[in-house]
Amino acid sequence: MVDEGTGLLAIGAGLAVGLAGIGAGLGEKDVGAAAVGAITEDMSLFGKCIVLIVLPETIVIFGLVIAFMILFTMS
Protein backbone atom coordinates (compact mmCIF):
# COMPACT_ATOMS: atom_id res chain seq x y z
CA MET A 1 0.00 0.00 0.00
CA VAL A 2 1.21 3.49 -0.84
CA ASP A 3 0.99 6.25 1.73
CA GLU A 4 -0.06 9.84 1.13
CA GLY A 5 3.50 11.17 1.15
CA THR A 6 4.50 9.08 -1.85
CA GLY A 7 1.42 10.21 -3.75
CA LEU A 8 2.17 13.84 -3.02
CA LEU A 9 5.75 13.35 -4.23
CA ALA A 10 4.42 11.94 -7.49
CA ILE A 11 2.00 14.85 -7.90
CA GLY A 12 4.83 17.32 -7.24
CA ALA A 13 7.06 15.63 -9.82
CA GLY A 14 4.26 15.67 -12.37
CA LEU A 15 3.59 19.33 -11.74
CA ALA A 16 7.30 20.15 -12.11
CA VAL A 17 7.45 18.59 -15.56
CA GLY A 18 3.98 19.66 -16.69
CA LEU A 19 4.21 23.30 -15.71
CA ALA A 20 7.74 23.55 -17.10
CA GLY A 21 6.45 22.10 -20.38
CA ILE A 22 3.57 24.55 -20.55
CA GLY A 23 5.88 27.49 -19.84
CA ALA A 24 8.38 26.35 -22.45
CA GLY A 25 5.63 25.89 -25.00
CA LEU A 26 4.31 29.38 -24.42
CA GLY A 27 7.78 30.85 -24.75
CA GLU A 28 8.66 28.78 -27.78
CA LYS A 29 5.60 29.79 -29.79
CA ASP A 30 6.65 33.44 -29.78
CA VAL A 31 10.31 32.67 -30.45
CA GLY A 32 9.42 30.20 -33.20
CA ALA A 33 7.14 32.64 -34.98
CA ALA A 34 9.80 35.36 -34.90
CA ALA A 35 12.48 32.90 -36.05
CA VAL A 36 10.45 31.73 -39.03
CA GLY A 37 9.86 35.35 -40.04
CA ALA A 38 13.54 36.14 -39.74
CA ILE A 39 14.58 33.07 -41.74
CA THR A 40 12.19 33.91 -44.57
CA GLU A 41 13.84 37.31 -44.92
CA ASP A 42 17.48 36.22 -44.48
CA MET A 43 18.50 32.55 -44.69
CA SER A 44 21.88 33.25 -43.10
CA LEU A 45 20.11 33.64 -39.72
CA PHE A 46 19.11 29.94 -39.70
CA GLY A 47 21.78 28.82 -37.21
CA LYS A 48 21.11 31.62 -34.77
CA CYS A 49 17.37 31.01 -34.96
CA ILE A 50 17.76 27.30 -34.26
CA VAL A 51 19.71 28.12 -31.09
CA LEU A 52 17.00 30.55 -29.99
CA ILE A 53 14.27 27.99 -30.69
CA VAL A 54 16.04 25.31 -28.64
CA LEU A 55 16.71 27.61 -25.69
CA PRO A 56 13.21 27.40 -24.10
CA GLU A 57 13.40 23.59 -24.22
CA THR A 58 16.10 23.66 -21.55
CA ILE A 59 13.41 24.74 -19.10
CA VAL A 60 11.68 21.39 -19.59
CA ILE A 61 14.96 19.57 -18.96
CA PHE A 62 15.35 21.49 -15.70
CA GLY A 63 11.79 20.50 -14.74
CA LEU A 64 12.62 16.86 -15.49
CA VAL A 65 15.75 17.06 -13.33
CA ILE A 66 13.71 18.51 -10.47
CA ALA A 67 11.14 15.73 -10.89
CA PHE A 68 13.87 13.08 -10.68
CA MET A 69 15.29 14.77 -7.61
CA ILE A 70 11.86 14.78 -5.98
CA LEU A 71 11.20 11.14 -6.77
CA PHE A 72 14.58 9.60 -6.02
CA THR A 73 16.04 11.70 -3.21
CA MET A 74 12.97 12.35 -1.11
CA SER A 75 11.38 8.89 -1.17
Q: Map out the domains of the chain as residue ranges.
A: 26-75
Average pLDDT over residues 23-37: 93
Distance in angstroms (rounded) separating the CA atoms of residues 15 and 60 = 11
Task: Please provide the DSSP assignment of 27-69 as one string.
Answer: HHHHHHHHHHHHHHH-GGGHHHHHHHHHTTHHHHHHHHHHHHH
pTM (2 d.p.)? 0.81
pLDDT in tens, 32-74: 999 999 999 999 999 999 999 999 889 999 999 999 999 999 8
Contact predicate 67/21, CB 8 Å? no
pLDDT of residue 36: 94
Q: Would the pLDDT of 75 be above 90?
A: no
